[in-house]
Chains A and B, each alone.
Chain A
């Protein structure tokens, strides 16, 4: 069976500091991978998605970037965090041939 991991689970960072969130998927190969952000009490905003190693599509221009250095690893980064980057970050994966997505447990980021 497939599992998806995210870490860290929670993170408190000062404004202007760098960010690295990691997501890994086990039990499948060549998944589609997604990063979402959920602001407090709000819906989901798709940030990035990837259909293969080294391939990243950005949905919303912003202070963040993503990378996929390995088939089942997806990283969300920032060089300098802003207050507005606070939120709940969710990673998800899907089989390349199917529509449904499977979500990780999320990382709660607070920028102070």
Chain B
């Protein structure tokens, strides 16, 4: 069945370090893929998305490329800031419809000055 696997956190980085959060998926066909971000005490915000294979989603300096060969959608940022500290969720649509999403377990990122 459909599933999303994210790297376990927490990920702890110093400011200006390079970030990678791994996400792999199992799905039927080539669904859209999403990254959501949750800042402390808030709801989730859509960070970026890719709707087809080889698409690159980008927003706020974050990027992720839809790799169908490796069924991956890794999140990257070249230089993280303290304000990027949050929990990041990878997600894909449930193949059974109703626009339900399947979320990964989330990866907590802590960036220190």
Inter-chain contact B42/A94, CB cutoff 8 Å: no
In angstroms, Cα B31 to Cα A95, docked, is: 17
B55 to A: closest C-beta gap in Å: 14
Interface size on B, residues (CB 8 A): 21
**Interface residue A43 (Cβ < 8 Å from any Cβ of B):** yes
Min CB–CB distance B29 → chain A (angstroms): 13
Contact (Cβ within 8 A) B43 A103: yes
Q: A-side binding surface: helix, strand, loop or mixed?
A: strand
- Check: B34 CB closer than 8 A to any chain A CB: yes
Contact call A57/B98, Cβ cutoff below 8 A: yes
Q: Which of B89, B99, B105 contacts A32 (CB 8 A)?
A: B99
Q: Is the CB of A98 within 8 A of B43?
A: no
Q: Which residues of A contact B34 (CB under 8 A)?
A: 99-100
Chain A interface (Cβ < 8 Å from any Cβ of B): 6, 32, 34, 42-44, 46, 49, 51, 57, 90, 92, 94-96, 98-106, 108
